[in-house]
Amino acid sequence: MSRRNFNADFKTKVVLEALKEVNTLAEIANKYKIYPQQITNWKKEFLSGASSVFRKGKALSGKSEAELEKDRLMRKIGEQAIEIDFLKKRLP
């Protein structure tokens, strides 16, 4: 049997249903044809990242401020490298 991959929307739907606690994990797992432990893992992952939704200045990509600054600087370096190459070609 091949391994199934689930998209973020499906995982979110399952986790939110689990958090409502209307049904047991076993019932939810049976409904979606997945293992209860998988729901538990997704739930832990979801809750561990939940606070990032409310952080100011946090990009939707999930990158930290330092990573965003690094990306910005790398883009700037790339732009400058292109300009330098262009100017070198223009020299006699």
SS (H, E, C) 2-70: CCCCCCHHHHHHHHHHHHHCCCCHHHHHHHHCCCHHHHHHHHHHHHHHHHHHHCCCCCCCCCCHHHHHH
Shared domain check, 36 and 1: yes
48 and 74 housed in the same domain? no
- Considering the domain architecture, whether residues 76 and 46 belong to the same structural domain is answered as no
pLDDT digits (tens, 9 = 90+) for 42-79: 999 999 888 777 776 555 556 778 888 898 899 999 88
Residues in the chain: 92
Structural domain that includes position 69: 57-92
Does the pTM surpass 0.75? The reply is no
* Angle, vertex CA 27, rays to CA 18 and CA 31, nearest 5: 90
Q: What is the pLDDT of residues 4-49, one digit of tens each?
A: 899 999 999 999 999 999 999 999 999 999 999 999 999 999 998 8
Question: How many separate domains does the chain show?
Answer: 2
